[in-house]
């Protein structure tokens, strides 16, 4: 999908806008969130004992080769430690993902994990508005 061009109102110039995600990318994003959640509940619950890990969203690249997985981690301990454990297990998680999506995707995307701090951001804004 080529980048779209838009006329900038205040300067009268054409500006290149980033391409929107395609319908296929959106469908795959939802599929990966669902499958990763199920895989995590079945296969990795014992490994991450004491952590509540939620996959909030996935953004897949246009060539479907890399999936950026955003996770919310609720724990009394260190979130970075849980993220490090996820990154260490990413090949095993990718293997289990491949067995589930082998009929929908030709190539199983490589996984990159990031902490989704949007809930913390919302809470901070909420506290600022209340004070």
Does position 76 have pLDDT exceeding 80, yes or no?
A: no
* pTM for the structure as a whole: 0.76
CATH code of the domain made up of 21-130: 3.30.300.20
| Cα gap 96→40, rounded to integer Å | 10
Which tokens in the block code for residue 65?
């080769």
For the stretch 50-76, what's the b/e string if a residue is b when 16 or more beta carbons lie within 10 angstroms of its beta carbon?
Answer: ebebebebbbbeeeeeebebbbbbeee
pLDDT tens-place string over residues 25-53: 999 999 999 999 999 999 888 888 888 88
Query: Where are the domains positioned within the chain?
Result: 21-130
Q: Tell me how far CA of residue 18 lies from CA of 26, 61, 67, in angstroms.
A: 16, 13, 18
């Amino acid at each position: 999908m080529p980048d779209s061009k838009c006329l900038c109102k205040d300067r009268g110039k054409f500006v290149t806008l980033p391409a929107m995600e395609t319908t296929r990318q959106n469908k795959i994003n939802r599929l990966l969130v669902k499958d990763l959640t199920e895989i995590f509940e079945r296969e990795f619950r014992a490994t991450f004992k004491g952590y509540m890990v939620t996959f909030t969203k996935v953004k897949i690249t246009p060539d479907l080769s890399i999936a950026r997985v955003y996770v919310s981690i609720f724990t009394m301990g260190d979130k970075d430690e849980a993220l490090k454990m996820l990154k260490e297990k990413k090949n095993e998680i990718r293997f289990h993902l491949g067995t589930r999506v082998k009929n929908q995707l030709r190539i199983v995307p490589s996984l990159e994990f990031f902490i989704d701090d949007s809930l913390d951001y919302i809470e901070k804004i909420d506290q600022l508005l209340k004070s």
